[in-house]
Amino acid sequence: MISAVVPVYKSEDSLLACVQSLMKQTGVEMEIILVDDGSPDDCPALCDALAREDGRIRAIHKENGGVSSARNRGLEEARGEYIFFADSDDYVEPFILSELLKGMESADFVICGFHHHYIGKDVLKVPSVSGQTKKEDFLSLYGQGYLNMPWNKLFKRELTGRFDERLSLGEDLLFNLDYLSRAQRIYVVAKPLYHYIQNDTGNTLSSMRRDDKLELAKRIWRETSEFYQNLTGTQDESGVINARLIQEVLDDVESLPFDKSRTKREKLAVIEGYCSDQELQDVGSCVNMKALDYRAIHFCMRRKWKHLTYLLCVLRGILVQMRRKNLEKEGRR
C-alpha cells in the first residue's frame, strides 16, 4: 500500500482538488493522510468531511509546527510500504502512483517529471535521464532541480528518515540526501505527472523573510558538496552545486521588492551583505547563470552595485505584476 501524506495549512481553496486527484488514482492500494497543521481557516472541517466521505482518507489534527512537522507526523501515522508526498495546493495525474510503483520493481527511489504552473504558464519539467539510473546521475538530477522537493517521488517507508523541523530552507533536500544515502537504486519516470502550483502571494514559506537565509543556503551547499564527494570520490568540477547556491541567493534578492516587512534601506543592506560575503563571491566567480534576469542581477552583485541590483529587482517585480494582471484580465473575458 502507498501512504500519500498531505500537509494542510491555509489551503481551503485548493485542498479539495488536491485530494480528489489522489482519490482518482488507478491500479494501486492507497491511503491518504491529511495532516492539518493547526490551519486557522476551514481546512480542519474540510479534512474531517473528506475523511467521512472516503474510507481511504484519514484526518490528523495537530498544533501548528510547520510543513516539516506535518510531514513527520504523516510519516508516523503511515501504514503503507511506500510513501508519497503531495502539497495541498498542488494536484496529480490519475496514474502517477501506478507509474511510480512500477519503477519500484527495480529501485528504492523513484522520481518523475512535473508541470510547473507559474504566472499563467505551464512549464513542463521532464528529467533528461530515464529509467534505471545510477547514484552517479545525482548531479544531473540535482542540477535540473529534481531533488529539492519531497513530492514527485516515491519512497520506501523503511528507508525514510525525518525532516529537520529546525530548518526553514533546504530541509526537503537534506531529507532526500539522507534517503539517498541508504537507497541503492534510482528509477526515473521521464513524464510530467505532478502539477506544482507556484503562487507568489507573500504567504508561502519561500516568500517569507529569513534573516539567516545565507547561512542556511551555505549549509545546504556544504552538505550537498560533501554528499557528492562521498558518493563519487570526486568534487563537483562542473559547478552545478555551486550554481544552485548562487541561484538560492538570487531568488532571495529578486523577492525583495515583494517584501513589505523591510524598508528600502534594509533591503539594500541585505544585498550589500550578499555582495560583501567573500565565500559567496568566490563561488560566484566561476558560475554562469542561464536565465537573463539571473545573469543581469548576478553581474551587478559581482561588482557590488547594490543600488543597480535593487533597481533591476524592482523592474523585474513590475513586469511580473503586469504579467499577472494581464492574465487575470484575460481570465475574466
Q: What is the CATH number of the domain that holds 30?
A: 3.90.550.10
331: Cβ contacts below 8 Å, ≥ 6 apart: none
Please report the pLDDT score of residue 143 as a whole number: 87
- Together in a domain, 102 and 174: yes
Please report the pLDDT score of residue 202 as a whole number: 42
Give the structural domain span for 244.
Answer: 209-332
Domain boundary pick from 197, 227, 248: 197
- The predicted-structure confidence for 47-88, as pLDDT tens digits, reads as follows 999 999 999 999 999 999 999 999 999 999 999 999 999 999
Domain boundary pick from 165, 197, 229: 197
- Together in a domain, 269 and 174: no
- Assess if residue 203 is contained within a domain: no
- Assess if residue 154 is contained within a domain: yes
Give the SS3 label for residue 324.
helix
* C-beta separation of 151 from 90 below 8 A: yes
- Assess if residue 136 is contained within a domain: yes
- Together in a domain, 189 and 214: no
- Together in a domain, 225 and 324: yes
- Together in a domain, 9 and 116: yes
- Assess if residue 53 is contained within a domain: yes
Side-chain half-sphere CA neighbours of 267 within 13 A: 20
- Together in a domain, 80 and 45: yes
- Together in a domain, 103 and 151: yes
- Together in a domain, 290 and 314: yes
Instruction: Return the residue matching grid coordinates 567573500.
Output: 278
DSSP state of 27: S
Domain boundary pick from 169, 197, 225: 197
- Assess if residue 202 is contained within a domain: no
Look at the chain and report how many structural domains it folds into: 2
- Together in a domain, 150 and 217: no
Give the SS3 label for residue 83.
strand
- Together in a domain, 192 and 214: no
- Together in a domain, 217 and 190: no
Element (H, E) at 139: helix 138-143
- Assess if residue 121 is contained within a domain: yes
Low-confidence ranges of the chain (pLDDT < 70): 135, 200-211, 328, 331-333
- Assess if residue 27 is contained within a domain: yes
Please report the pLDDT score of residue 8 as a whole number: 97
129: Cβ contacts below 8 Å, ≥ 6 apart: 137, 140, 141, 188, 190
- Together in a domain, 269 and 248: yes
CA distances from 12 to 17, 176, 216 (A): 10, 28, 31
- Assess if residue 204 is contained within a domain: no
Residue 49 to residue 32: CA distance in whole angstroms: 13
Please report the pLDDT score of residue 239 as a whole number: 87
